């Protein structure tokens, strides 16, 4: 069903109409075949970019659309409902652009952002490593300064768009000083010494490549540094606050798709002479699913409005990511149950939705990390009420 949305402007309503039209024509029709084949839909992101969707929350002067996060995230939700790989891919790209937009010099923004936001380039975000996922401050990839810039050595792991992105936003160690020794860099895909592992063989999201990104003496010019040396960990955390809201929106979109499929099936399937939806056991299950989806949507939008108002929102973003992704796992699992045996076969979409939902509890900080963030804020008395 079409979600009834309260949007801040008429322009935002037109934008959501455009997104739904693109999903119907360019996104949803190819999702099943591309997921089955493990085929990355690069051209879909080009279409999104040329439609103005790859730079929604960024300034118009650099090719963005200057939309509030409240609107941007609802675009993500709609895309994820049509095809999670595309919704999540847009979220990752937006995350990858953030350090240039927020911490780059005027020259870096003018040089890099127009192509990054205009649809010609697609980004990836390189923070996690094989031995440092949740403990990001323990990363070991090194960027050693010399007279010509930096030389980078190390391996990044679990990188969405690894091997297919046009640029990589890299967090690397420039000093041994823990979190204060990490810096942020912009790395074009053609950089010498940059290579990639084979795509991971995943439970779901098979059309979205996830791979190691390897740096073997990769040389970066001095202009590759974003922000000051040692500021990278702060940049990474700021980026992840927004990224977690993107994942929350993805989770709501995927859960909405599962709910819609379950309601439609239960309304058509007949057992014992009645529609399945008319049995109280199924009707109550669907009612709980719908309530949980609506609650998760309200929570991520609340966090987005805090961000748009310039108020602290990191704890609320962690809450939204935690609640929405746990909700999505439950709702997609229940959707399979509504379908019965048919839910367990690839002929119906809920089988794929359930497999895809699991990764949302892991990416952008596991849900255990989200609980840690929220608990620490409560202990400090800084959690929003």
Active site residues: 364
Question: What are phi and psi for residue 158, nearest 5 degrees?
Answer: 60, 40
Q: Under a CB-based contact definition with an 8 Å cutoff, are residues 158 and 133 in contact?
A: yes
Instruction: Give me the count of residues in the chain.
Output: 385
Which phi and psi (to 5°) does residue 185 adopt? Answer: -135, 150
Q: Is 379 exposed, middle or buried (0-12, 13-18, 19+ CB in 10 A)?
A: exposed
Give the phi and the psi of residue 117 in degrees, each rounded to 5: -95, -15
C-beta of residue 141 within 8 angstroms of C-beta of residue 154:
yes
In Å, what is the CA distance from 236 to each residue of 180, 239, 272, 297, 375?
A: 12, 5, 56, 25, 20
| Pick from 367, 359, 365, 326: nearest CA to 87 | 359
Asked if residues 80 and 87 have their Cβ atoms less than 8 Å apart, the reply is yes
CA distance 377 to 203: 33
The rounded distance, in Å, linking the Cα atoms of 342 and 365 is 33
DSSP secondary structure, 47-90, as one string: HHHHTT-TTTTS-GGGT-----HHHHHHHHHHHHHH-HHHHHHH
Look at residues 70, 51, 61 and name the one whose alpha carbon lies nearest to residue 12. 70
Using CA atoms, how far apart are residues 154 and 373, in angstroms rounded to an integer? 28
Give the pairing type, strands 167-173 and 123-126: parallel
């Amino acid at each position: 069903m079409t979600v009834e949305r309260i949007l801040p402007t008429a322009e935002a309503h037109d934008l959501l109409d455009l997104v739904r039209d693109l999903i119907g024509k360019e996104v949803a029709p190819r999702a099943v075949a591309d997921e089955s084949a493990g085929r990355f839909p690069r051209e879909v992101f080009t279409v999104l970019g040329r439609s103005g969707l790859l730079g929604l929350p960024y300034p118009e002067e650099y090719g963005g659309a200057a939309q509030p996060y409240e609107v941007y995230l609802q675009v993500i939700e709609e895309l994820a409902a049509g095809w999670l790989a595309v919704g999540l891919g847009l979220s990752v790209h937006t995350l990858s652009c953030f350090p240039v937009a927020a911490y780059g010099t005027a020259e870096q923004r003018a040089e890099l952002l127009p192509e990054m936001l205009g649809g010609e380039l697609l980004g990836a975000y390189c923070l996690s490593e094989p031995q440092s996922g949740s403990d990001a401050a323990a990363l070991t990839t090194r960027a050693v300064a010399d007279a010509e810039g930096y030389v980078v050595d190390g391996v990044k792991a679990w990188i969405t768009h690894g091997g297919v992105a046009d640029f990589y936003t890299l967090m690397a160690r420039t000093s041994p000083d823990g979190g204060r020794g990490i810096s942020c860099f912009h790395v074009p895909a053609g950089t010498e010494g940059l290579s990639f592992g084979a795509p991971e063989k995943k439970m779901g999201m098979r059309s979205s490549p996830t791979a190691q990104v390897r740096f073997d003496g990769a040389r970066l010019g001095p202009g590759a540094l974003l922000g000051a040396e040692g500021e990278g960990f702060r940049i990474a955390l700021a980026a992840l606050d927004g990224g977690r809201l993107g994942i929350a929106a993805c989770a709501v979109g995927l859960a909405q798709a599962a709910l819609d499929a379950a309601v439609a099936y239960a309304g058509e399937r007949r057992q014992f002479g009645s529609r399945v939806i008319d049995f109280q056991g199924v009707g109550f299950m669907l009612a709980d699913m719908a309530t949980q989806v609506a609650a998760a949507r309200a929570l991520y939008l609340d966090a987005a409005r805090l961000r748009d108002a310039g108020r602290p929102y990191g704890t609320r973003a962690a809450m939204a990511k935690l609640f929405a992704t746990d909700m999505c796992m439950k709702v997609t699992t229940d959707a399979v149950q509504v379908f019965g045996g048919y839910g367990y076969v690839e002929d119906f979409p809920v089988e794929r939705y359930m497999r895809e939902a699991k990764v949302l509890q892991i990416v952008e900080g596991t849900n255990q990390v989200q609980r840690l963030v929220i608990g620490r804020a409560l202990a400090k008395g800084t959690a929003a009420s």
